[in-house]
Amino acid sequence: MNKLFTTAALVCALSLGFTSCSKDDDKVEQVKQEYQAKVMVKDGETVDLKKVSKTINTQGTIKRTGKIYSLRNFRQFTIGEDGKATTTAAETFYFDFKENDGISKADFVVSINAKGSNVDFVTNNSKGYTLSYIDKAFDEVKATDEFTAAKNNLLGLQSTYAPNVIGWANYTGSPNHQVLAVANRTIIISKDAKPFFKIRMNSVYENETMNREVAPNNYFFYSIDYQEFK
């Protein structure tokens, strides 16, 4: 009888051991899959998002220099009824700085408007992301700095027509109608009240160059530098 109980106990222990190992293996595999889902950019490398993005409607390049990532000519396109990307630019672009990739509206973390003169940069407060800024050069900004919270988690366009609006860009008005980034204004994205990323908005124009001095029309192609606080 004792021998029977001993054998049963051993079988049970082995069974629990195998189950535990299986769960551990599942966790390792899950972490591995999540890690591989990111767009990886090596130091000194430039990747083409059109080729590597997990979305079908994202365009642009990312270059990494040390800890700083440079997103250039970023834009997204509408998706047709057939589920494929069209050649029509979307009115709002979505990007995940942690993943180095464009995302869908359903996974909204950060959105950037791209319609008319609307360049609103917005974070998703429901997911714990908040927006603030500091008038300090990007390279000098640290996580320990004091930041000013953005009203409604939004930074957009400021101009002489809206003197009380604080944004990341200036609208020059007539006759040139240009949208220009505010010099040395660094955007801060926080996650659960902890500084997460610092952002430098550079330009809304293709290749960061306006195609003409009066009313340029080669937008929106966002140029953004970003770095994670660690």
Write down the pLDDT at residue 47.
97
DSSP 37-106: TS----TT-EEEHHHH-SSSSEEEEEEEETTEEEEEEEEEEEE-TTSSEEEEEPSEEEEETTTTEE--GG
Q: How many CA atoms does the CB half-sphere of 178 hold within 13 Å?
A: 15
* Pair 118, 168: CB distance under 8 Å: no
Segment 129-143, tens digit of pLDDT: 999 999 999 999 999
Segment 161-206, tens digit of pLDDT: 777 889 999 998 888 889 999 999 999 999 999 999 999 999 999 9
| pLDDT above 50: residue 219 | yes
Please choose, from the candidates 61, 62, 98, 60, the residue with its C-alpha nearest in 3D space to the C-alpha of residue 77: 60
Tell me the mean pLDDT in the region 23-41. 51
Which residues lie closer than 8 Å to 37 by C-beta, 6 or more apart? 54, 99
Segment 90-133, tens digit of pLDDT: 999 999 999 999 999 988 899 999 998 899 999 999 999 999 99
Segment 85-96, tens digit of pLDDT: 999 999 999 999
CB neighbourhood size of 59 (10 A): 19
